[in-house]
Amino acid sequence: MGLTTSLLSIFLGAFSFVCTVGAICTDCWQVNSKGSVVLSMRCRGLWGECVWDKFVKIWTCDVFSSYLNPHPGAIIIARASLITSAIAGAAAFICLLSGCPYFRCFQEATAKWRCLCLSTGCYLFAGFLSCIGVIRYCLYVFFQHQYEVSLSIPGFPSFEYGYSLWMAVAGGLAAIAAAVMSYYEGVLLKTFSMSPAKEMPAGDATGTTWTYV
């Protein structure tokens, strides 16, 4: 059970970090929901807007003129939340590996348990921040979409949720799941580290052993 828990927590932690970074880098948080005669696909993100021309077969991307210019609050919150979540997720993953019983970063069970507790806290923090950014951006896209639909302009491209947003959702949920697994692994570690000492053969010192079952 201990090996399965460790592998699952490591997988969830790595998956969370990859999804969060991917959501930041792919930058397609909105896609056009209505087809156009000229454009086959149009993406909006946290850093700019890209267009796929079906005739030329190329992507044309325009970044925002300045990251310091006033932008919608949802974009600012999503940027800050996702970047901070990625940093916290990386720190949590390092702590998780340090606290894993199958990695010899620390020999003492107490030090490993503290690393697992720190990993749990960082993953919860990362998942919480990711959820804040995603929820705020979802509300922004929803109300913007409703406004664009209400205009009833023929051929006007209306936008819906893009794949980058769903990657951010997966990253946040995976971070919360990794926090749960890390906490459970810390409980197991503390339980077995506090197990009664087993007597060694005659002539040897009495030692304490802890293993997963």
Tens of pLDDT, residue by residue over 11-46, are: 999 999 999 999 999 888 888 765 554 556 788 888
Instruction: Answer positive or negative: Cα dihedral of 187, 193, 198, 201.
Output: positive
Tens of pLDDT, residue by residue over 147-175, are: 766 676 655 556 778 889 999 999 999 99
Question: 27, 47 in Cβ contact below 8 A?
Answer: yes
Residue 168, C-beta contacts closer than 8 angstroms, at least 6 positions apart: 19, 20, 23, 82, 130, 133, 134
State in Å, rounded, how far the first CA of the chain is from the last one.
Answer: 6
Q: How confident is the model at residue 76 (pLDDT cuts 50, 70, 90)?
A: confident
- Three-state DSSP at 53 gives strand
Specify the residue for token string 């894993």. Answer: 100
What is the token pair recorded at 186?
A: 């810390």
Q: Would you state the pLDDT for residue 59?
A: 75
Question: 10, 97 in Cβ contact below 8 A?
Answer: yes
Residue 50 main-chain phi, psi, to 5 deg:
-125, 150
Poorest-pLDDT segment among 21-25, 57-61, 81-85, 94-98: 57-61
Please report, rounded to a whole number, the percentage of residues in the chain having pLDDT higher than 90.
Answer: 30
Map out the domains of the chain with their CATH numbers.
Answer: 2-26+68-154+167-193 (1.20.140)
Tens of pLDDT, residue by residue over 106-145, are: 667 777 788 888 999 999 999 999 999 999 999 888 887 7
Residue 82 main-chain phi, psi, to 5 deg:
-70, -40
CA distance 126 to 206: 42
Give, as one character, the DSSP assignment of residue 39: E
CA distance 127 to 121: 10
User: CA dihedral defined by 178, 181, 182, 183, rounded to 10 degrees?
Assistant: 120
Q: How confident is the model at residue 51 (pLDDT cuts 50, 70, 90)?
A: confident
What is the token pair recorded at 15?
A: 């998956």
Q: Would you state the pLDDT for residue 142?
A: 83
Higher pLDDT pick, 55 / 92: 92
pTM, to two decimals: 0.76
